[in-house]
Structure 1
Amino acid sequence: MTLTTVRIASILLGGCLAASVFSVPVFAIGDNNSTMPTCKKGEIYDQKTKKCVKQQSANVSDENRTDYAYSLAKDGRYEEALAMLDTVKDQNTAEVLNYRGYATRKLGRTDEGISYYLKSVKMDPQYAKVREYLGEAYVIKGQLDLAKDQLNTIKAICGTSCEEYQDLNAAILDPSKI
């Protein structure tokens, strides 16, 4: 083989390796910025087995149920999300309260959503996602001063480049983005 042939082969191999690394699907389950796949009604996505299983027979953790409820809500399945949250044993976590607030707000029950958000904030004042959603609820109610207070708190938590800050700022600037 000539030196040129070896170089071309090396470049091609490197390109293939790079392409394979970037083409693998990644699920960052467990953080607030990601969602997991949703299943048909009556099933839940089991993070351990990486498949949909019957909800009644599922032996999944509260964290899995909470994350799945959020995925349902982000998919517009708000009633199912609330029903899934009802299956969580520990109802008194910042995430459960936040996601319950999100689903109820999206169902048009903004004041009820705010009440859940405020409970979540009491539990974890540094939880930027609940601050974002609380701010969005205030935008819906036309209380931009309170929304901007949440935006400033988010800025103190994670700066202006985090998703929560950018999303709430966009909602304040253009409420149709909510």
Structure 2
Amino acid sequence: MAMALLSGQALASGGGSDDEAPRKPNCPKGQVWDSKTHKCTMQTSKATSDEDRTDYAYRLAKDGRYEEALSLLNTLKNPDTAKALNYRGYATRKLGRTDEGIGYYLKSVALDPKYAQVREYLGEAYVIKGRVDLAKEQLATIETLCSRTCEEYEDLAAAIAAAPKT
């Protein structure tokens, strides 16, 4: 991830390539980026939206800060959105709790069956469990959602290709 310094604050992209999203600071532990005020605020601030909390939790998880991501997701007013459940699944899977992660992914899919990213992560979890057959089902669904050229399809296809052959 590209990093830059602005007034002594480390900056990271908000996801995707550097050209796709504006740069946002990595906030100190216990804080979250607020897109309205354009600054870090306390996680306990009621002014910070669930959407900002959810997005920041994913950034934390992508940075390997899984426990912090889960703690932030625990502060959501509505934790039962497809996106929040997907990111909760991602963080728990990365902590080695794959079955728990699959449970969150399945809840996310039930809320939004056309959400390609959750299907990618669910497929990756199935690969970890040795269920390449189920991962391939997710891959086929992703293909119908966004084609073979979308990032979700390419990433899951690579995970399946790298899976141990049984």
Compute the TM-score of the two structures, normalised by the length of structure 2: 0.82
Size of the aligned set, in residue pairs, is 149
Deviations 1:4-30 (A, max 9, x none): xxxxxxxxxxxxxxxxxxxxx97579x
Partner of 2:120: 132
C-alpha change, 1:155 and 1:101, in structure 2 (3 Å) is same
Partner of 2:26: 38
Alpha-carbon contact 1:36-1:67 (below 8 Å) kept: no
Alpha-carbon contact 1:36-1:71 (below 8 Å) kept: no
| Structure 2 portions without partners, runs of 5+ | 1-11
| Structure 1 portions without partners, runs of 5+ | 1-24
Q: What percent identity do the matched residue pairs reach?
A: 64
Structure with the larger strand share? 2
**Alignment partners' CA distance in 2, 1:126 and 1:111:** 22
**Alignment partners' CA distance in 1, 2:101 and 2:107:** 10
What RMSD over aligned residues (CA atoms) do the two structures have, in Å?
A: 2.3
> Which protein has the larger Cα radius of gyration, Structure 1 or Structure 2?
1
Partner of 1:170: 158
- Picking from 154, 158, 171, the partner of 2:142 is 154
1:39, distance to aligned residue in structure 2 (A):
1.3
- Picking from 84, 92, 115, the partner of 2:80 is 92
**Alignment partners' CA distance in 2, 1:27 and 1:110:** 26
1:38, distance to aligned residue in structure 2 (A):
2.5
Structure with the larger helix share? 1
Partner of 2:69: 81
**Alignment partners' CA distance in 1, 2:62 and 2:27:** 13
C-alpha change, 1:175 and 1:41, in structure 2 (3 Å) is farther
